[in-house]
Structure 1
Amino acid sequence: MLLSRLKEQGLVPNTNTYTTLVDEHCKAGNFLKVQEAYKALKIWFRSGLKVDKVTYTILISAHCKQAEFKQVLVLFNKMVKSGIQPDIHSYTTLIAVFCRGKKNERK
């Protein structure tokens, strides 16, 4: 994984590194890699790395695309509990999740 190569080179990943990785894997539809990056992010989060609004919104969007609606709510609640105020992009993503969920219920 790219993160391992960064560490081997003595480079320290930051929030932007993880956010970019998650976003690019999400855009490519590579949700296994999104999950790997998210697991690595959680480890770094415990060691003091700050997760920002953009990171949470991208993760919420990734779980929406996978129809993992419970995880969407877990992430949204974590974001709010960590003191990060949702913005228009966060709420738009959340609304899209619920609309998609309703469409799936009708099928």
Structure 2
Amino acid sequence: MITRTELHWHPNDDEWQYYISGFGRMGVFASAGAARTFTHQAGDVGYVPFAFGHYIENLGDQPLVFLEMFRKPRFEDISLAQWMANTPPQVIADTINVPRSLIEALPKTKQPVVRWG
């Protein structure tokens, strides 16, 4: 089973991470289709500029433990699924060319960790 954070972004601040244990991958998405992936293990530092979409995925057999740090006193994040679920379903379905029922099935509340496999 694979565990990852839901694809999300922080509209008000950069994110710094310090990896304590485990082994994982972070995907970061910028504008114009630019994207990069980074692998991290204990002792590594990760960085995501504000408003860049990103996720962190555990690639190992042990838990991936890391700290997220922000400079602003107020934490804000937006998950992709939650954003799509709270936008009129037909607008999203037409924009990304999927059935409306797929969008209507998305959870309207944030799911911080998702599992599949």
Given the two structures, how large is their TM-score scaled by the length of structure 1? 0.25
Given the two structures, how large is their TM-score scaled by the length of structure 2? 0.24
Task: Decide which structure has greater strand share.
Answer: 2
Task: Decide which structure has greater helix share.
Answer: 1
Which protein, 1 or 2, shows the higher relative CO under an 8 Å CA cutoff with sep ≥ 6?
Answer: 2
